[in-house]
Amino acid sequence: MAETHLSDEESKLGFSTVKFQADSALLRELGERLVGQPHIALAELIKNAYDADATMCTIVLDRDEIVVTDNGHGMTETEFLTHWMTIGTRNKQVRGVSRDFERNVTGSKGVGRLSAQFLAHKLEIITVPKEKPTQQLRARVDWDEAIQAGKLTEAEALYKLEPRGLSFPGGKPHGTRVIMRGLKQVWGAEEIKDLGRQLWMIQSPIARYGVLATEESDPNDFQVKLSSTQTQLVDTFDRQMRAALENYDAVITGELKRDGDVARVHVKIAFRAGKTYSESFEVPPLVDAARWHIRVFKLQGRQFEGVKVGDARDYLEKFGGIQVYDAGFRLPYYGVQQDWLGVEFDHSHRRNKSALLPDRLHVRRALNDLPTQGRLFGIVQIDTGREGRSAAEQEKDSGEFLKIQVTRDRLVSNNAYTTLRNAVRWSLDYYATRERLREEQNLDLRRPEEASTDKVSRISDLVTDVRRAYPDDDSIVELEREFGGLAQTVAQEREADDAARSLLGPLASAGMAALALEHESRKEMRIARGLLRKLRVVATDSGDGRVAEIADQVGAWVDRLESTRKLFAPLLDPDDRDHVEALTLGHVVRQVADNVAPLVVGVDISFEIPADIFLPAATFAEWNSLFQNVFINAANATLDRDVRRIRCVGGRTGRAAWVRVDDNGAGVDPEKSLHLFEPFKRELTISEERRALGLGGMGLGLTIVRMIAEQRRAKVSFIEPAAGWSTSFQMSWSSNQ
């Protein structure tokens, strides 16, 4: 039989055949190119164990030896020869999934095991096939000799068959052990950490994951255990393998306990950031005891211990959700696939109010923060045996206790089950309310980590670099100029913000002092009126007209003094102080004018304001401070005028609404007026002695005006006054009517 595939024509033309020769340096090349890093090389062997349907794989790391043992299906002699001894075997690629569990296999190229030669000089493999667990195959490879052999076809491995002398992890009679002797690297914490990062994704989340009440095996059950005389390496490995589950945001723990006729649940929410909340509630006494521990994950933006967020998300999609363990045996029905707590349902129906929580715990839109299964990892522990024994006679008869179905994969769906389910769900809803509250608080407090000035100057530097690289590019030159401008604006804005913030302290204490004063003056006022009454009596008794006159003057003075207290009115009424709403402009300015009347005696204030203009939503107290400042400024400016006038005009221009406060005082040049809104700026051209009468005077008024306006998205400025007026202050805002 001809070994060649030469056609007659080719033979005639004098062709002869030759085979490709693989140099065994290719082995080394493959090994080193493939791996380059020892942790990836070692991980290949553990991935092979996973592909072989192992549920457990142990790695024993010693100073000069690494032994990897799995309890997978092992290899028959034929498989050893055609798969293990064939470089580039494609058996896994052909099947796509593993033999028994139909796991998605990690291997495909048929070269993974060759990376072992990168780890050690010598390799021994012992494998026992599931089909014939009485026999084991032992093979040895000396990588140095194999590579020296020259041609790959001549590289050798020795092997023999012998009676099985090994047992495998979990007491299984089949599996594979790979022993590497003469290590080429020293394994330290870094390498072990890296190994963990390669493997955590294929490991199931907890040791008892595979212990099922049904006594079946779970295809995803896979545990990797490292042991070593260097115990700190074991710790490092374990920590890294669990890292994805350590990156939680909050832990929900719950405990249900029955005591006689009552059953109570105690729930605790501990946020990683520090806060803890707890609540207790009563449930029907149909369950004797249950405990749960649920971790909630945010899975956003950041890496944790080298675990990518995307990988963590995939992992929880597979292993997440809330599982139920019955006396330590997992009920496989409950898990990420099964929405037994109805969280997915409520999400897809956009429910935002909990059906279970009492009213006092409700928080608006709380269920927006209800985590989906893919953000949860939790375990509920019960014991159906004990539930059966401890059930009351009546419940025993009616079957109302936690019971496992005959299929042993889930609980019987009765009222006891509903009690358990609701209690767990209650704790999730409670978590959602606390998270919602936290979120709301955070929104107010969130501050940029880096000062905007720093950021802008960094970008400016980059732009400058780019400009140097492309000095002739006009748009880059332009960009640099623009950035220069932006840097300046940002710096100014920051200065102004700082100045405004530095005002808050003094203002707050001034405000508190004013309130204390108001309180005191109320008492004094009562005393004054008492004395006045006595004075009137004396005036009548004595019949002296001068005393009556003095009594009237004092009376008028007390009334005036009394009315100054109105200044404080908006601060004293909680409704005015705290209630944010869209108030009508006309009412507000009239009310404020009335409140400040004692301070602006002798000024004629007129109003031209349509009734249907509404201010932006804010408290009355805010508008009171704003307009009070504007009115007092206007009144001060008119101190030198014979007829002192202020006019308030309201109106609309397009979609903007506005209010103007005009006065006939000393006048403000709108061009130069911007800086008047900065703290401590005053510019009053009125006479000395008159100025002594001026109110305010710290130069803070307009700063406060602008602060309040900006807070409510309104703009304030001085504009060109209408004929007959000297100054025109304007506030405008967008109105949607």
Per CB under 6 A, residues contacting ligand ATP are: 44, 48-49, 51-52, 70, 72, 74-75, 83-84, 89, 91-92, 107-114, 176
Of these partners, Mg ion, ligand ATP, none, which one is at the site of residue 110 (CB under 5 to 8 Å by kind)?
ligand ATP
We find the least distance from the C-beta atom of residue 191 to ligand ATP, in angstroms, to be 20
We find the least distance from the C-beta atom of residue 146 to Mg ion, in angstroms, to be 19
DSSP string of 132-146, one letter each residue? -TTEEEEEEEEHHHH
Phi, then psi, of 269 in degrees rounded to 5: -115, 120
**Region 266-295 residues binding Mg ion, contact defined as CB under 5 A:** none
Of these partners, Mg ion, ligand ATP, none, which one is at the site of residue 403 (CB under 5 to 8 Å by kind)?
none
Q: Report d(CA 66, CA 60) in Å as an integer.
A: 6
Of these partners, Mg ion, ligand ATP, none, which one is at the site of residue 704 (CB under 5 to 8 Å by kind)?
none
Interface segment toward Mg ion; rule CB under 5 A; list 8-16, 107-115, 425-433, 443-451: 107-115
We find the least distance from the C-beta atom of residue 239 to ligand ATP, in angstroms, to be 26
- Residue 23: C-alpha distances to residues 26, 27, 153, 195 (Å): 6, 8, 8, 31
We find the least distance from the C-beta atom of residue 57 to Mg ion, in angstroms, to be 13
H/E element holding 277?
strand 276-283
Q: Report d(CA 604, CA 614) in Å as an integer.
A: 24
Of these partners, Mg ion, ligand ATP, none, which one is at the site of residue 418 (CB under 5 to 8 Å by kind)?
none
HEC profile for 197-255?
Answer: HHHHHHCCCCHHHHCECCCCCCCCCCEEEEEECCHHHHHHHHHHHCHHHHCCCEEEEEE
* CA-based nearest residue to 621, from 660, 659, 568, 661: 568
Please report whether residue 112 would count as binding Mg ion according to CB under 5 A.
yes
Q: Report d(CA 701, CA 668) in Å as an integer.
A: 15
H/E element holding 603?
strand 603-608
Of 24, 30, 48, 539, which one interacts with Mg ion (CB under 5 A)?
Answer: 48
Given the complex with ligand ATP, which of 52 and 380 has the nearer CB atom?
A: 52
* CA-based nearest residue to 378, from 288, 199, 250: 250
We find the least distance from the C-beta atom of residue 361 to ligand ATP, in angstroms, to be 53
Question: Are 648 and 605 in contact, with CB atoms under 8 Å apart?
Answer: yes
We find the least distance from the C-beta atom of residue 237 to ligand ATP, in angstroms, to be 20
Quickly count helices (H) and strands (E) in the chain. 23, 19
We find the least distance from the C-beta atom of residue 111 to ligand ATP, in angstroms, to be 4
Please report whether residue 665 would count as binding Mg ion according to CB under 5 A.
no
Please report whether residue 107 would count as binding Mg ion according to CB under 5 A.
yes
Please report whether residue 31 would count as binding Mg ion according to CB under 5 A.
no
Question: Are 105 and 96 in contact, with CB atoms under 8 Å apart?
Answer: yes
Identify the burial level of 588 via C-beta atoms within 10 angstroms of its C-beta, where 0-12 means exposed, 13-18 middle and 19 or more buried. buried
DSSP string of 396-408, one letter each residue? HHHT-S--B-TTS
* CA-based nearest residue to 571, from 501, 524, 633, 516: 516
We find the least distance from the C-beta atom of residue 126 to ligand ATP, in angstroms, to be 11
Q: Report d(CA 127, CA 179) in Å as an integer.
A: 11
Structure tokens at 197: 């990062």
Of these partners, ligand ATP, Mg ion, none, which one is at the site of residue 38 (CB under 5 to 8 Å by kind)?
none
Q: Report d(CA 31, CA 8) in Å as an integer.
A: 42
Of these partners, ligand ATP, Mg ion, none, which one is at the site of residue 111 (CB under 5 to 8 Å by kind)?
ligand ATP
Given the complex with ligand ATP, which of 83 and 121 has the nearer CB atom?
A: 83
Interface segment toward Mg ion; rule CB under 5 A; list 110-118, 265-273, 429-437, 443-451: 110-118
Of these partners, ligand ATP, Mg ion, none, which one is at the site of residue 91 (CB under 5 to 8 Å by kind)?
ligand ATP
Of these partners, ligand ATP, Mg ion, none, which one is at the site of residue 89 (CB under 5 to 8 Å by kind)?
ligand ATP
Interface segment toward Mg ion; rule CB under 5 A; list 111-119, 236-244, 327-335, 599-607: 111-119
Given the complex with Mg ion, which of 107 and 701 has the nearer CB atom?
A: 107
Given the complex with Mg ion, which of 107 and 332 has the nearer CB atom?
A: 107
We find the least distance from the C-beta atom of residue 187 to ligand ATP, in angstroms, to be 21
Interface segment toward Mg ion; rule CB under 5 A; list 16-24, 68-76, 102-110, 716-724: 102-110
We find the least distance from the C-beta atom of residue 20 to Mg ion, in angstroms, to be 24
Q: SS3 breakdown of the chain: % helix, strand, coil, rounded to 5? A: 45, 20, 35
Given the complex with ligand ATP, which of 81 and 722 has the nearer CB atom?
A: 81
- Residue 657: C-alpha distances to residues 378, 454, 652, 721, 735 (Å): 55, 37, 4, 17, 6
Binding site for Mg ion (CB under 5 A): 48, 107, 112
